[in-house]
Chains A and B, each alone.
Chain A
């Protein structure tokens, strides 16, 4: 493109520093918000006011902030459930099924100890809570392992397998909690029995303890990919399976392992939402909504390019906007779906801006202009 004697050129980037990626992402967010303000204007609202309401509710409101943080923990775990297989070049889109499995696993522990019958608990709550978390992680891991095993052994497409498992576990949950199911609420209502208050997950400043788990996983994953042997093997397999095989990396174990790890984290996300978030403490009737929400883990994982640390701000932003957007929709009497639309616009813009991860736009002066100036120089010097 030419503007006067200057031109705009598209150049391929050879390297991309971390801060450049961050700047590009921030620009993308700003661009998305500007774009979305059209919606507010069409609804006759001042976009600045609407955004102020959205962000202040999500990040500075005593009612909104805990909601945001709970969403954030959930999203972050789902993001990691996606990222680990993604670094091995595999796509886990079974977070929904894995988190349902995790929830079922956690509730099964209580069921096994007779909690549902209002019996006194024989075990201390601390042990029970730990068992619930382990059961949740294991159940998610087993579901993930199915996809990983089939991929490693028979090269079956992991996307199809994880997606099908989502349907199976969705209806399994339904069977377990609806009327007549083993986990049904004594009052019916199509939801599971409620946790006894003694096994509520401990809170730290009103935030469930699972936040430590999520942030701990963030650090561990970062170290795993950067420093460890297994992290290296996963990355090598993800970049080039043939080369990994050449180097003696097992093309069976790696898919199995990443899906076990991913499934376990999604299972913990299920534990978090149904057994640790204040005010829930049961597998709710609308559990499918959280299954849908888990798919934002894919988006967060892609935007953060598989980087476990970059995933933290991304998941926080998406968690906050999904809460703030819903709030603004109600408060400003907007039509249904503002939060979804906002997340959608943000998502598309962030993905589109990844173009600038690979290319940059530079100003160049055209040849003629430079020659002209040089001749002018010569003339002046004479």
Chain B
């Protein structure tokens, strides 16, 4: 392939173009006659629900897939990518949603990994100088000698970006760049992206669920729905509402109606619960609260403040270091997770792909995860897969999981569809206590709305729900009680209708309410 197709390009010129791109997979047309272009110096957002075809389109632009019809043009010249290497050679860089870094290696080692100039003998010093220049140019700050596992998600993202830039990328594709980041890191990343765009790079972040970010930094937006382009807009002309409408295909209600439910008896009592983290320090320090029938108890906080430990102790996956857990009057502090499932605990884990599902299992087998122990579905040690298939089919149609069939492997589902399946599977057990850990993380607007409404439905049916979320708006919109968590302690418990955004935000950052203030 000839290099240098992008030489002499000026700001505003079209650098990368897809014309009439179609890509079919068995059972779906992932991309249907898509026209798409990126200009030099712009930040171009691609917006779409899960399964709208964004990832497929980006994979085609990066050479991971070959289009069935249509073609890609760089600087006006047609190119055929046989593999991502061809795309990289022509100046396209991609930062994947799921980090592809070697965690035992340092940042700089990861950046030069696979670089043609790295060769057989590493010249780390020279590489470090060169990467440092890039950093200074765009205002990145990062410790090159730190091992990847020591870095925060935001820093890992920067390493990925630097890796692409160091390979000479002039068009940068960012897949869900902020989905794993804390708010502060998101701001820092957005500033870096803007700095890069000023330098005539074309930036393509594509973001599904954070409309405010699209509005804040992008110059143009292309909206995809079901494999087709439904809108191409200058961001200035767009509003949060109009974008959401284009994505989902109908009006989206940003406010959620929370009907009053008669408060019933207590389901869960947590008394002075503490637990150690994996690294052995006290991550949960004496938490007490209770949840009654028909209540959503929302724990708001930035990830890493003891939420995972709390959830795992409640689900029976981690030993309590001290304190008590009482479910329906029974002490379950030392019960196994299986016993808890059987007693009516339902748990939606934050990690959909690694914990909540088994990728190589069919949807039916994934449903079985929460039913194999249930006598209605497995008498005398035999699993009734016929009955489970029927149940799965019902779940799939009721929850609108998009899939060719129930024998499909779970790993082929998009994030939103997978979450729907997990949610449906857990809710179909009609749990007494539902633990929902980051239930809408990484989901698009439509799926988020769906999941939230399902949580409210479960509340209506008198389940007690523990909602753990980083999204303050989500906690405030759904919860009957709001408890901000900070460094393993609850900073106070506020009634949902009295919880003010600013106060809860400050509590998440460590402000403790005194008794007389609540």
A residues near B (Cβ < 8 Å) are: 14, 227-233, 235-236, 239-240, 242-250
Contact = CB atoms under 8 A, between A and B. Distances in A.
B381 A242 contact: no
Given A229-B373, A229-B378, A246-B355, 9 more contacts: A229-B382, A239-B361, A243-B354, A243-B356, A244-B358, A245-B317, A246-B315, A247-B370, A248-B316
B389 to A, nearest CB: 13
Contact of A232 (B316, B349, B383): B383
Contacts of A228: 381-383
Contacts of A250: 336, 338
Given A246-B337, A248-B337, A248-B373, A232 B365 contact: yes
Contacts of A233: 372
Nearest to B407: A15
Interface string B359-399: 11100010011101100001001110100000000000000
Contacts of A248: 316, 336-341, 373
Nearest to A237: B358
Contacts of B355: 242-243, 246
Contacts of A246: 315, 317, 337, 347, 349, 355-356, 369
B26 A243 contact: no
Contacts of A244: 358
B469 interface: no
* Most B Cβ at <10 Å: residue of A232, A246, A250: A246
* Most B Cβ at <10 Å: residue of A230, A235, A240: A240
B163 to A, nearest CB: 25
Nearest to B368: A232
A229 B349 CA distance: 23
A184 B496 CA distance: 81
A232 B374 CA distance: 13
B368 A245 contact: no
B357 A243 contact: yes
Contacts of B359: 239-240
Interface string B389-413: 0000000000000000000000000
Contacts of B337: 245-246, 248
A227 B383 contact: yes
Contact of A247 (B369, B381, B382): B369
A15 to B, nearest CB: 9
Given A227-B383, A228-B382, A243 B369 contact: yes
**Closest 7 pairs (CB-CB, A-B):** A248-B338, A247-B369, A248-B337, A239-B358, A240-B358, A246-B355, A229-B378
A245 to B, nearest CB: 6
Contacts of B381: 228-230
Interface string B252-284: 000000000000000000000000000000000
A346 B287 CA distance: 62
B82 to A, nearest CB: 10
A228 B373 CA distance: 11
Specify the main secondary structure of chain B where it touches its partner. loop
A139 to B, nearest CB: 26
Contacts of A240: 354, 358-359
Contacts of B349: 246
B356 A227 contact: no
Interface of B: 26, 315-317, 336-341, 347, 349, 351, 354-361, 365, 368-370, 372-373, 378, 381-383, 385
A226 to B, nearest CB: 8
A248 B317 CA distance: 9
B39 to A, nearest CB: 28
Contacts of B339: 248
A98 B359 CA distance: 34
Contacts of A231: 383
Contacts of A247: 341, 369-370, 372
A243 B358 contact: yes
Nearest to B80: A367
A224 to B, nearest CB: 9
22 contacts: A227-B382, A228-B381, A228-B382, A229-B382, A232-B365, A235-B365, A236-B358, A236-B369, A239-B358, A240-B359, A242-B351, A242-B354, A242-B355, A243-B354, A243-B355, A243-B358, A246-B355, A247-B341, A247-B372, A248-B338, A248-B340, A250-B336
A323 to B, nearest CB: 37
A174 to B, nearest CB: 42
Nearest to B66: A9
Contacts of B368: 232
Contact of A229 (B347, B358, B360, B383): B383
A101 B368 CA distance: 38
* Most A Cβ at <10 Å: residue of B354, B361, B365, B369: B369
A240 B349 CA distance: 14
A87 to B, nearest CB: 12
A232 B378 CA distance: 11
A231 B378 CA distance: 12
Nearest to A243: B358
Contacts of B365: 232, 235-236
Contacts of B317: 245-246
A249 B315 CA distance: 13
A247 B357 CA distance: 9
A100 B369 CA distance: 38
A236 B362 CA distance: 11
Nearest to B26: A14
Contacts of A235: 361, 365
* Most B Cβ at <10 Å: residue of A231, A232, A235, A245: A232
Nearest to A245: B317
A351 B278 CA distance: 39
Contact of B361 (A227, A236, A245): A236
Contacts of A242: 351, 354-355
Nearest to B377: A229
A69 B351 CA distance: 49
Contacts of B347: 246
Nearest to A242: B355
A264 to B, nearest CB: 18
A159 B355 CA distance: 25
B473 to A, nearest CB: 28
A143 to B, nearest CB: 26
A36 to B, nearest CB: 34
Nearest to B361: A239
B426 to A, nearest CB: 11
A17 to B, nearest CB: 12
B383 A239 contact: no
A333 B381 CA distance: 56
Contacts of B316: 248
Contacts of B382: 227-229
* Most B Cβ at <10 Å: residue of A228, A240, A243: A243
A14 B28 CA distance: 14
Nearest to A230: B381
A303 B422 CA distance: 34
Contacts of A230: 381
B391 to A, nearest CB: 15
A344 B78 CA distance: 49
Contacts of A229: 372-373, 378, 381-383
A227 B382 CA distance: 6
Contacts of B351: 242
A217 B359 CA distance: 29
B227 to A, nearest CB: 18
A370 to B, nearest CB: 11
* Most B Cβ at <10 Å: residue of A227, A248, A249, A250: A248
A374 to B, nearest CB: 14
B158 to A, nearest CB: 28
B354 A232 contact: no
